[in-house]
Chains A and B, each alone.
Chain A
Amino acid sequence: MFGRLVRNDAAWLVIFVTVVLLLPVILGRTGLSRTPFDQTPSEELEKLDPPPEVVLIGDSMLGTRIVPDQLSELSEAPVFVNILEGSASARWYLYLKNHLARLDTPPKHVVIFFRDRYLTDPTFRTSAQYQELLHATMQGEEPLVEALLEGSDQSRFGWLAEGFEWLYPSQQLRDSTGEYVVERAQKLTENMMADGDEFNVALDRTFEIDLLRSDMPSELASENLNQARFDASPEKSFLPHMVAIAKKNGWHLTFYRVKRRPQVGDIRTDEPEMKEYIQDLRAYLEANGATLVDETSDETIGIEYYSDGDHVAEEMQGAYTARFFERFKELFK
């Protein structure tokens, strides 16, 4: 009977389509999931007494510039410095949404350290090796993150996509499989070449922003990021969503554009496209109650401040922290 069915072309077509479409329906219900949400940052924030009034967020640009203890000593207001290594806008957004916004006593000011256009590149630092860190900041389904990372869906059939997601709820399994593949590749690499620094640090160092060429897109962006204009559409970047969270929670949000390594002497000059981008970014932030501070044209931050790339040398971090405090004195009162 079964053999006859299989041999019959029309019957087999029906069986084929039905099985292929229906079998994976059970997949999303397997219970396999990605790296769970990490509560630690929330717990750390809640433990702080008094609760922080100023919170600084950023990647190594913050980590190599600000000395947290020194800033706390200088400041009258309680300060919390959160260095998220290898992070970018996706994780900053998730940190604001899933940790900071849940505090009983909200901070007054949030300062985010960033470089150039990377604030509006949602995909920066979200590829395979960053997935685990990203997932640890995601609480349950994060449809906005998924949508922004995969590019805005231009389809006229969004309802079908939703139906598809409902039928095959494979996102968690997808994330955990991706993590597994990266983990296996890392294990294999470690087995072959065991010693050295922590792997992710080496990987981050290899693809540091200042090591990228100027005529190419950064990481996953399909268009040339270096030519890109500022775009405040909510479906293009996490920026408007961060601004919206700040508004909703009554924080004052400051985006702090660090000066990248000077090119000639102590000067760092922006290309005309970059100037236009920063102007538009400033106008957008000011119109939405946030602030942009750009230290790019500050010639007093000379080449002596820098170690490798855009990182500030350890011996200059104290001086930098003091400068930063002076600049934002009002904030820390």
Chain B
Amino acid sequence: MIFHSLDFIVFFVAVVALYWAMPFRWQNFFLLAVSWFFYGYVSPWFIGPLAVATLTDFLVAREIPARPGRERLLVAISVAINLGMLGVFKYFGFFVENVNAIFLSFGLTTFEPGLSIILPVGISFYTLQSIGYTVDVSRKRIAPCRSLIDYALYVSFFPQLVAGPIERSTHLLPMITTARTIDAARITSGLQLMLWGFFKKVVVADTVAITANKIFALDEPNFALLWVGVFAFAIQIFADFSAYTDIARGAARILGFEIMENFRGPYLSQTPHEFWGRWHISLSSWIRDYVYIPLGGSRCGPTRNMLNLIGAFAVSGLWHGAQWNFVLWGLYWSFLTIGYRALGLETTPLLSSVRSGAVGLVKILFLFLLTCFGWLLFRETNPTYLWKFMTLNPFTVSHEQLRVALFLGIHAMFFALPLFAYDILCRLPKSVTQAWRDRPVLRRISELAIACLLFVTILVLRSHAPSEFIYFQF
């Protein structure tokens, strides 16, 4: 079931009404049942791998305290089963394709797999969440969950099941096992967040997607047009993915849960390090905690540290999809991070003076350009086209082509403005917003006005070409 559908709205209203009408002892079971219904709505067989991951990690984690000295083995079993599933469903085709390419280069016979595998949506998200739990239990950060229902709900909680945020057991499990109370203020705030998410998806992401898709469908776009396409894609992917997170967080908040933030104005970052602290936070922090730090992190020599960074980013890239361009994208970010460190650009100037403010602005713009280049690697899966696009001559753009590119760029920018405005508002110093915060009546009325404006905009400016969330494919 997708969030921006009538089916979801009917489903969610019914779930909220029933959920708050029942006693706590039934709520988790009910949420688990509706989460599985939500997940299996289109393809019930998707529940199979979800059930396997849930049961495996529940049983493995229970064994960890009972078998001291065997923690590593048990965690290895959990990791092997989860990654094995991910490997079969997500990377099997990629593996076969690459093995065949190697065979072909040696003149050997290639093989055709007898089966075509459909990727269950969300598998990349919930396997990481499940692995994180067993590792946390082995590190004694959390006690093994005693109830299978509670644990299954932790893995399958419907707002964040399909595209995250990838929750931590130490954060979400305690909320599941503790009684929730209905809170009107939180429900209002959850509704606002959902509305903002819907706006970002159906007004911004789906509209700029048309521009990006049109340009990337051209056989030979000119330099100006290509970069407008990349810009449109940069807006699309941010609006699309952060919209999903906002709807997920809003829905969870209405149900009494506070799930983690996934984006904090990433395009206003000045350095790669800052960007990854603001973009897909739940994945980057997961990779930091469960891949980068176990590899040694920064507590080792510079060469080893560099290799750790490259490894962590490559994993992050490959996690996104079974294509080499995603690995390339991950490696690109690792080189950017290393480059910034080597050049001493990692320090973020405080925006306290005009001069440092100007420097900060230049750094933001520069990193945004580099981020856009990264999105080109991410968006273009065909290596021939990628090379063609990267080698376009900027000096052969005609007047007419420039006009068309400018028009499409202005059109995309119009839709991108609310996102940038919101992120800038969020970055305003507390001293500026304090007066507003101190006046609850004014605050609530302005929030109501914004909510009305968002709803009206959704009605009149929603895209004519609704599409699925980009991250569903991962």
Chain A residues with CB under 8 Å of chain B are 2-3, 6-7, 9-10, 12-13, 15-17, 19-21, 23-24, 27, 123, 126-128, 131, 149-151, 153, 155-157, 160-161, 164, 168, 170, 173-174, 177-178, 181-182, 184-186, 188-189, 192-193, 195-197, 199, 202-203, 205-207, 211-220, 222
Contact = CB atoms under 8 A, between A and B. Distances in A.
Which residue among B183, B382, B448, B464 has the maximum number of chain A CB atoms within 10 Å of its CB? B464
A217 B440 contact: no
B188 A12 contact: yes
Given A16-B191, A168-B459, A206 B6 contact: no
Contacts of A20: 191, 195, 448, 451-452, 455
A13 B190 CA distance: 11
Given A199-B407, A211-B220, 12 more contacts: A13-B184, A20-B455, A23-B456, A126-B464, A127-B210, A173-B459, A177-B460, A197-B400, A202-B403, A203-B404, A207-B218, A212-B217
B411 A128 contact: yes
Contacts of B451: 16, 20
Given A150-B464, A212-B217, A212-B218, A206 B455 contact: no
Interface string B55-78: 000000000000000000000000
A160 B460 contact: no
Contact of A189 (B382, B403, B465): B403
Given A6-B440, A206-B401, A174 B461 contact: yes
Task: Rank and list the top 4 A-B pairs by shortest CB-CB distance, nearest first.
Answer: A9-B184, A220-B465, A9-B185, A213-B219
A155 B1 CA distance: 10
Given A20-B448, A177-B460, A178-B461, A213 B467 contact: no
A185 B414 contact: yes
A218 B10 contact: no
Contacts of B219: 211-214
B253 to A, nearest CB: 13
Interface string B422-436: 000000000000000
Interface of B: 5-7, 9-10, 183-185, 187-188, 191, 195, 207, 210, 213-214, 216-220, 225, 382, 385, 399-404, 406-407, 410-411, 414, 440-441, 444-445, 448, 451-452, 455-456, 459-462, 464-468
A3 B444 CA distance: 10
The main secondary structure of chain A at its interface with chain B is helix
Contact of A193 (B399, B414, B468): B399
Contacts of B188: 9, 12-13, 16
A27 B410 CA distance: 27
A222 B467 contact: yes
The main secondary structure of chain B at its interface with chain A is helix
A195 B440 CA distance: 53
Contacts of B407: 185-186, 189, 199, 203
A174 B441 CA distance: 32
Contact of A24 (B213, B448, B459): B459
B452 A19 contact: yes
13 contacts: A9-B184, A13-B184, A15-B448, A16-B451, A20-B452, A23-B452, A24-B456, A174-B459, A181-B411, A189-B406, A207-B218, A211-B219, A219-B210
Contacts of B216: 216
Nearest to A155: B6
B141 to A, nearest CB: 34
A164 B455 CA distance: 13
Contacts of A16: 188, 191, 448, 451
B461 A192 contact: no
Contact of A181 (B382, B414, B445): B414
B353 to A, nearest CB: 34
Contacts of A181: 411, 414, 461
Nearest to A160: B6
Contacts of A206: 218, 225, 401, 404
Contact of A3 (B217, B400, B441, B448): B441
B235 to A, nearest CB: 15
Nearest to B406: A189
A6 B465 contact: no
A12 B444 contact: yes
A197 B403 CA distance: 10
A202 B400 contact: yes
Contact of A127 (B218, B400, B465): B465
Nearest to B381: A215
Contacts of A207: 214, 218
Contacts of B468: 222
Nearest to A168: B459
A151 B4 CA distance: 14
A150 to B, nearest CB: 6
B220 A157 contact: no
B465 A12 contact: no
A192 B403 CA distance: 9
Nearest to A17: B191
Contacts of A160: 6, 9-10
A317 to B, nearest CB: 24
Contact of A12 (B184, B195, B403): B184
A153 B7 CA distance: 10
A300 to B, nearest CB: 27
B444 A24 contact: no
B402 A24 contact: no
Nearest to A156: B7
A157 B448 contact: no
Nearest to A16: B188
A23 B457 CA distance: 12
A156 B213 CA distance: 29
A157 B460 contact: no
A127 B214 contact: yes
A128 B448 contact: no
A16 to B, nearest CB: 5
A216 B218 CA distance: 8
A213 B403 contact: no
B210 A155 contact: no
A149 B206 CA distance: 14
A164 B462 CA distance: 15
Nearest to A194: B403
B14 to A, nearest CB: 11
Nearest to B195: A20
A144 to B, nearest CB: 14
A181 B402 CA distance: 19
Given A20-B451, A20-B455, A173 B460 contact: yes
Contacts of A214: 219
Contact of A151 (B213, B218, B466): B466
